[in-house]
Amino acid sequence: MNIILLYGTETGNAEMLAEDIMVELEGEHTVECRSLSDFDPGEFDAGRLHMIVCSTYGDGELPASAQPFAEALKASAPSLSGIHFAIFGLGDSEYEETFNFGSKGLAELLAAYGAAQIGERVTHDASGSDMAEDLAFPWAARIVALAEEKIGEIA
């Protein structure tokens, strides 16, 4: 499968995790890894699985590196029907009321323009005891299996 991993980060945790997921998947798939700040909404591709790893900042907002992407998306308001994405969130339960709102908001935004989410959004808690990759690797494996059913024939 053709996969692009996109990350939104401020302190680099999401970038490191996205790179780790890339290494996990590279053996069997074609994988590219890029910052959301370098990704244009016009680049969404129906033949590709878009896997997003995104943290949360401020008061439940997107990290700075993902904000220009969200703005561009809203400005161009493209139809994303036929586009598949999956999303993994990084957050901290110290911020109870807005826990992982960044990834949540981004998923809602993509869905609002017609993109189809594959699998469930899994979140990591920086104040919890799990390592992000211990949650993300099984998530990635499930997502890829699900995506193969859905977009396998196109890719």
Partner 1 sequence: MSRAVAIVGSGPSGCYLAQALLKAAPELRVDLIDRLPVPYGLVRYGVAADHQGTKGIVRQFERLFERQGAGFVGNVAVGEDVSLAALREAYDAVVLAAGLSGDRALGIPGEDLEGVHRAGRLTRALYEHPDAEPLPELGPRVVIMGNGNVAIDILRLLAKTPAELAGSDLGAGPSAWLAGSAIEEIDIVGRSPAAEAKFDAVMVKELAKLEGVTIRVIGAGASDDPEATKKIAALEMLDGHATGARRITFRFGLTPVELLGEGGRVGEARFRDSAGATVALCCSAFLTAIGFEAEGLLLREELIGSAADREAGVIEPGLYATGWFRRGPRGTIPDNRADAQLLAARILADLDARGDAPEKPGRSAFPDWRSIVDYDGWKRIDAAETAAAPQDRCRAKIPTRETMLALALHREELPQ
Ligand X SMILES: Cc1cc2nc3c(=O)[nH]c(=O)nc-3n(C[C@H](O)[C@H](O)[C@H](O)COP(=O)(O)O)c2cc1C
SS3 115: coil
Q: Does 10 bind ligand X (CB under 6 A)?
A: yes
Please choose which of ligand X, partner 1, none residue 115 contacts, taking the beta carbon within 5 to 8 angstroms, the exact cut-off set by kind: none
Please choose which of ligand X, partner 1, none residue 76 contacts, taking the beta carbon within 5 to 8 angstroms, the exact cut-off set by kind: none
CA-to-CA separations, 71 to 62, 65, 74, 155, in angstroms, rounded = 11, 11, 5, 29
Segment lying near ligand X (by CB under 6 A), choices 27-35, 66-74, 75-83, 96-104: 96-104
Q: Which residues bind partner 1 (CB under 8 A)?
A: 10-13, 16, 58-59, 63-64, 92, 94-96, 125-127, 131
Segment lying near ligand X (by CB under 6 A), choices 22-30, 35-43, 59-67, 76-84: 59-67
Question: Could you tell me which residues are beta bridge partners of residue 57?
Answer: 61
Kindly report the three-state secondary structure assignment for every residue of 34-89.
EEHHHCCHHHCCCCCEEEEEECCECCCECCHHHHHHHHHHHHHCCCCCCCEEEEEE
As measured in angstroms, the least distance from the Cβ of 37 to ligand X is 12
Q: Does 39 bind ligand X (CB under 6 A)?
A: no
Residues in the interface with ligand X (CB under 6 A) total 22
Name the DSSP class of 30. E
Q: Indicate which single residue of 4, 9, 22, 110 sits in contact with ligand X (rule: CB under 6 A).
A: 9
Give the C-alpha separation, 102 to 100, whole Å: 5
